[in-house]
Structures are given as structure tokens and as C-alpha cells.
A and B are shown apart, each in its own frame.
Chain A
């Protein structure tokens, strides 16, 4: 805890927006009350979450050091900041950056905070936020005040609230956009922040704006609310008017949902009231008790978009007029970015490095003579010194027009071509000149097991390893390979957005020879373009240490066998699951007696279980449970192949059967003679694994069991192409959870 904490309030008095100042004072009081035991830990948890103060790995006061589970003896003793969350344990502070926009002073404050309260690194997230890790909860009011002094808030950065409103970082300068969506994103941010209609959601709500439909940058398809700029002739006047295509109910998470078109044209004056009506419907009808079904996408899916729209339009009629619906937009429209310097012409590419950088890290703006420069941040990380240098650069060459991106980079807009060489030199001086923006090497990764409580495998460790290997000459030779995207998530929750990558990976664990081995599920053929319109398909789970070989093998094959102009997505589709799996099959098992497979990238601790021995991996004692889980995997694979051939009923039936096989495998550990009858399997599984919570995930609870129960209740019913795909994803997750459960059972037996 900082010695200066008590002084920041006085130091910044009068310099903070009044509403934010009041909000932070209130939070500081909540901290004091929690310390006195006057606020329940659950209430305090949601209170801090709504201010962006998030939990972090090991904050339950325990850490597996590779040999044993250590109790971390913090001085705060029994005091908690949430259920099973020790007060003194470091946490994460998420900071909202609406539409990713930042000015120089904000960059400087971010640098100071990273240095003084965190580990010297500020991290850009896949939703244009910043995150600071290893933060003490007692420091958070000072952090929030310092942010508020430059007009940044962390309010509603986490928790069941409207999260950061993202937008394409090129909007306003993009050649393919319809119009600049920035003012609308800002207006919506102001309108929804702390709005009474947004305070009773069952889960979070994520809006995103895009200036066009053909490029990826806004990722509207995977958001709860996606807005794409559109124009039309006004029905009355015939004049062109601006508005939005409105999409609802998209989302990644364990099972990704494509957003559905709500309205092909929402006039700008209807943007905020309609959003308010949507928020009210979500607050009223969204699931509250079962958090695993509480995301907005489930409400839209369950109701169907037509019914949902009907409810929203009815709600819209009930709203009292709010002048802010238009005032906020009009205010926001007054701030238009302009250049600082006169336009110029392209500089000579006078070195190989500069040439490479110009090609990948600059993007011509629609305004002639200007480009947007992308600064590639490795794994989204930037140091305090680099942030300060960036602030200087943004002042010197632009009117401080900087934005974060969902690819965990930063862009500087409105750079005159005349300044490009000097700007490059300035970036080079602080080592922010890495080429390859948006290319294969520019890997997106969530925090994974580094800091996230939900992480299963080391996504950052893998991403760092892949980055260093991809910089090898081999990968730079083929243009088509260069343009592929790799995205890595540490678990099924998709914070690394693996579903929309050409090569996506998410962390799972598998048991090999009785011991846990970190794996990644390989997800291929997702589409980043068109606002992330297509999600990839899982192919096979591969040990973490073999993933670099997976990348190498797949890219080699793509280079050698792709047809003319064939995208990787189409290539994956053409090959099909069977061929892809065959290609990777030998990588799916770790070699015998290689201990390195029992730890993860960048983390030499023995993975997973504290009592894991060494050198015993060659011992292959296969239990009926292991056989059963393998059968479930096979069945699911066949289901996925059937789905690929559009044999929907076959696919759905097999996916359901795969779940049954996995459940049966677990039941066999207690009742070896369990029959094949589905009702019996469900009944035994429910009694022995669901009711006893043996199958429960520490964070997802009974979510995965419910996938099985739902599938059982729908057995024999027809599935659509989309609902069948959901079932396949759910079956994969159920089987992954069965593997985890089998590891837990093994631990219990060993202990």
C-alpha cells in the first residue's frame, strides 16, 4: 500500500469531474466499511468489480508452487474482498478507454500508474481497455482519482454492467467506412455509464461500433450490441441520412454466438433510446440466478430475435423523453479530429527495416497525405517509458490522436507522410518500431495462467514462444501466411478471441499416464474479416509444447497446397476435419519420458497437481474411465465431421452420445456396471457428480453438467444448423470438463 494514498484526494481536489470524485469517495468509504466488517464480502466484491477492481490468480491465498500447495500468508489475515478472495492479495485494475481514444496526458498518467502501483507494464486488452496487474485494493482509490484527473474512469469496467464501448480504431480516417462512429460511441458511453436502467443486469453487456461491414476492426458480430454505420435516403425528405445497422446477441465465451440483425437501419436519433429499451428488456428478462445462462446472447437466442425486437419496441414506447438522447450526440459531434501538421508525400524507404515497417504498420487515411501508424505491442504490453515517449510523439506529430485496438496494439492517427521517417526514428529510439502489425507474428493473447483465475494453460507463454519462432525467416516468405491471425485464450472463455482467428488455441488440460498435461484445443478457420463473421471449428487438443509444430505444419501445408486466392478459412473447409486431424494426430500425444511436456511455456512448475511425480509418464495404466473419455472424444469427432457434411441430425445425435459416454465414463469410477441406458446414465451422473458438485467447475459451477441435461431433454428433437453447432461446442466443453473432473478424482485417490 502506498504511503501517499491519504494525500491524493487533497492533491487533486477540484481537478476531478464532480460525479467521478463523488463516485470514488463512495468507493473509498466502501473499502473502510468492508475493513470494519460492515459490508458483506459479496456486496463488496460486486462494488469493486463495478469499479474495475478485479480478482487475480492466487487471490484465494493459495498457490501451487510445483511441489505443493502453498498458503500465502498475507498480513490482512481473514479479511476478504470477496468470496475466497484475500484482501491483501494482488488484483487487476481494468480501465475503460471508450473507443480506444487517448490523449498524451492520459498516456502519461497511465505510465505513472503502471510504474507506481503495478509492475511497470500497462496492458492493452482485446476490448481496447488498459489493465494494470498486481494492484493492491487499498491503492485503487488513488489510482481512480489520478485517472479521473485526466478524465478516465474505471467505473463499470467489470461486473454486471455496460463494459467499455469499443469502436474501430480507424473510424474517421478509414477509406472504406461509411462515416465516423466515434462521436456515437462516446455519446453512448456517457449515456449508459451509471444509467439506472443498466444497474440490474444478470451479466455484463458489451457494445461495439464499426464504420463499415467488410473489415474486421469493430468485431460487431461477437458483441452483445453491434452497430455498423449505414446511410439511406430519408423516407420523407429523400436526403441521405446517417444511422446504424443494429445487431444483437453476439458473443464469444465458451460457445460463440453470431449476432442477429435487429434492424437494418436505426436513425441516429433512435440510437440511444433504442439501446435504453434493450437494456431495460435485458434487465427485466435476462437470467439472474444461473449466471451461465445470464449473458444477453442467451436471452436473444431463447426469445428469438423477432420476439426480442417486439419486446424492445414495446419498451421503447414506454420510455419518457430524455433530452440527452440527442444532446449527447450533438455534443460529441462537436469534437472532430484534425491534423496538426501539413500533409506530405511518402518518404523514401531507405532501409529494409523501414520498408518492412511501412508495409505492415502504416495505413493510408481517406484524407490524402496522412496515414495511421500502428505500434505493435508484444502481447499487448507497453512500459511506462514507452508510454511517455508515445505521449511526446503524439504531441509532436499529431493533435494527440491515439487509440488502442482490439488486436492489443496502439495506433497514432493523422500522421503526415512528411513526418513518417522522423516518427519512425522516434519509435525506434524506444523500441516501439516492431513491424508486422496485424500479421502472423502479431499474436493476440489473454492473460491466461499468468494472472487470470480461470486460466487453464499459459496463453501468454505460448504466444511469446510463437512470436519468437515466427520471427524466423521461414514464416516471412509467404504473403498469405503473413496475413494469418493467431489468437490464444488460456481457457474456453475466449478472452483471447480464439474463435475468430485463422489459427486459434484455447487452453485445456488432459491426463497422460495419470498426470495432467497442459494442452491447447486447436480451433481452425475462424474469420477476422467482416467484423468477425465466422467462428472456427475445434479440431484436436494438442499438448502445449507441440503447438509450435502445429502452426508450422499447418502453415507449410497451406503454402504448399492452397488453391489460387484461397483463404485459410476456405482451405480449412476444403480439407475438412478428418484430414486436418490426421495431419495433427501424431502431435496430440506427448512423447514418452519427456518431462518438458508436464510444464507449460514460460512456467517450469510441474503443471496442475502438486503431487505430480516425474519420470512416470511412460506408465500407461488405462482405467475404464480413460477408455470411456477416449470413446467420447471419438464420438464427438464423428459428430463434427457429420456437421461439416451438413448432416445435422447425425451430428446432433452423435454430440449428445459423446456427452453421454463422457458422463458414463465418470460414473464408472463409482459404479462399474452402469448400463448404456441414457436415462440411467443421466440419473447416476446427476446423483453422483452434479448433486455432490464433484463435476462442478470452480468458477463455472454446474454449467457444463447443464449442457448434458439440456441435450438429454432435447434428445430426438430436430436441431437447426446453428443449434447443432452450439451442441457440438457444448459437447466439447462437457468432455473437457470431464477430463478435468477425472484429474480431480485422481488427486483425491492419490491424497
Chain B
């Protein structure tokens, strides 16, 4: 069985064209001042100058949070770095919950003038450890039930498409695309 650690969850932003990331820097520094997360937040990293890069990030001890632009897709990305003792499904839920809660904060932050909104359908999940989860057909086959279980919970069975990232050099991961728009609060409710 593949042990799922270092799970990344990325939720895509709606209407990405022309969104400026600069206001996030102030917001992220504010989050560090407050230290209101359950995790230790350390610093802000600004990669706005890098095309299709990690955007603006909060570097934490347990996890990093970013407005990531990889593949030209702007999204809130949660990267869990520390080791979690739990089941695979619980770890997937934890990462999804953290990404969703972060996005919710951004949606509700008045300084951002409601420019950062979840697009209601795109969730990507990666496993950021090639040794634990090499990107092979075998890994995908082994992980499919775990990913499906989470997808079914979030979107409802049959209400989403699951597509695996097949480039063997990239991280093992998949995209979930919901067929019906769903809100962050709705998704959080389903995660419990």
C-alpha cells in the first residue's frame, strides 16, 4: 500500500485573467502576525517575477501555502511538509480541509476585494514525494480508490471527472473536475 504523505491540494481561482498577486503579500504577512493557524507560519516568499511559478507563498513549518501559478493555472495550493500519523483518507481530508479553509479566508478578506474566488469545480491533488508515490500506472491504480473515496465525498459519485497526471517525471497526482459548481463552504461541510 502506498503511504500518502506530503499531500498537496490546489484549488483553482475563478476569472484568473489579470489578477494581481501583490495584495496577498500584505495579507500573508498579516496572517503571520496573527499566527492564527494551527501550524507555525514563518515567512512570505514572493515569486511573482517567475512566470508560471509558485506565485506568493507563506512558508510554514508543517505546511506551505501559496497562490500558485504552475502550468499557468492560478490556484490556492497547500503543501503539507511534515509527517502525519493517520490513515491515507484522513490525510487526504486534512490537506483538502486546509486548502479549502485557506481559500475561504481569502474569499472573505475585505482587503482582497473579492478578487480571489474558487472556480467551484477544479481541485488538484499531488503527492510530493517521488519515492513514496512514483508516478507510474501502478501507483495510479493503487491510489485510485483513495482518490475516488475523497472525490465521491466532495462532489458525489458520478458528479466529477478524475484525470491522472501521466508524465512520469511529474509528481503523482490527479485533477478532479466537478460537473456542478460547488462552494467552499459546501465542500468544507462535506469534509466535516
Interface residues of A (CB under 8 A from B): 1-4, 7-8, 11, 57-58, 63, 65-67, 70, 72-75, 88-90, 108, 111-112, 115-116, 119-121, 133-134, 136, 378-379, 381-383, 385-386, 388, 430-431, 450, 460-461, 464, 467-468, 602-605
Complex Cα spacing A57 to B83, Å = 24
| A4, B131: Cβ atoms closer than 8 Å | yes
B6 at interface by CB-CB < 8 Å: yes
Nearest A-chain residue to B129, judged by Cβ: A4
| B54, A65: Cβ atoms closer than 8 Å | no
Contacting residues, chain B, for A381 (C-beta < 8 A): 47, 49-50, 53
Interface centre among B29, B57, B131 (most CB of A within 10 A): B131
| B48, A464: Cβ atoms closer than 8 Å | yes
Which stretch of B38-46, B139-147, B174-182 is in the interface? Answer: B38-46
Among B43, B49, B68, B131, point to the contact of A63 (Cβ < 8 A). Answer: B43
Task: Report the minimum CB–CB distance from A77 to chain B (whole Å).
Answer: 13
Complex Cα spacing A603 to B25, Å = 7
B108 at interface by CB-CB < 8 Å: no
| B52, A431: Cβ atoms closer than 8 Å | yes
B137 at interface by CB-CB < 8 Å: no
Q: Apart from A3-B129, A450-B46, what are 7 other A-B pairs with CB-CB below 8 Å? A: A4-B129, A4-B132, A58-B42, A90-B59, A119-B45, A464-B49, A603-B44
Which 4 A-B pairs have CB atoms at the shortest separation, nearest pair first?
A431-B51, A4-B131, A3-B5, A378-B49
Nearest B-chain residue to A432, judged by Cβ: B51
If A57-B43, A63-B42, A90-B42 touch, does A115 touch B128 (CB 8 Å cutoff)?
A: yes
B184 at interface by CB-CB < 8 Å: no
Among A11, A70, A108, A604, point to the contact of B131 (Cβ < 8 A). Answer: A11
If A8-B131, A65-B29 touch, does A121 touch B5 (CB 8 Å cutoff)?
A: no
Interface residue ranges of B100-136 to A (CB < 8 Å): 128-132
Complex Cα spacing A386 to B50, Å = 10
B33 at interface by CB-CB < 8 Å: yes
B contacts with A, residue count (CB < 8 A): 41
| B129, A450: Cβ atoms closer than 8 Å | no
Contacting residues, chain A, for B132 (C-beta < 8 A): 3-4
Contacting residues, chain A, for B52 (C-beta < 8 A): 383, 385-386, 430-431
Contact with A along B35-75 (1 / 0, CB 8 A): 10000101111111111111001010100100010110000
Complex Cα spacing A382 to B51, Å = 9
Among A11, A120, A602, point to the contact of B53 (Cβ < 8 A). Answer: A120
If A66-B29, A134-B59, A383-B52 touch, does A1 touch B83 (CB 8 Å cutoff)?
A: yes
| A116, B128: Cβ atoms closer than 8 Å | yes
Contacting residues, chain B, for A8 (C-beta < 8 A): 131
Contacting residues, chain B, for A378 (C-beta < 8 A): 49-51
| B49, A379: Cβ atoms closer than 8 Å | yes
If A3-B132, A381-B53, A430-B52 touch, does A65 touch B33 (CB 8 Å cutoff)?
A: yes
If A74-B40, A461-B46 touch, does A604 touch B26 (CB 8 Å cutoff)?
A: yes
| A383, B128: Cβ atoms closer than 8 Å | no
| B47, A121: Cβ atoms closer than 8 Å | yes
Contact with A along B128-170 (1 / 0, CB 8 A): 1111100000000000000000000000000000000000011
Task: Report the minimum CB–CB distance from A548 to chain B (whole Å).
Answer: 15
| A120, B40: Cβ atoms closer than 8 Å | no
Contact with A along B60-103 (1 / 0, CB 8 A): 01001000101100000000011100000000000000000000
16 contacts between A and B (CB under 8 A): A1-B83, A3-B6, A3-B129, A3-B132, A4-B132, A65-B32, A74-B61, A88-B61, A108-B169, A116-B128, A121-B47, A134-B64, A430-B52, A464-B49, A468-B49, A602-B25
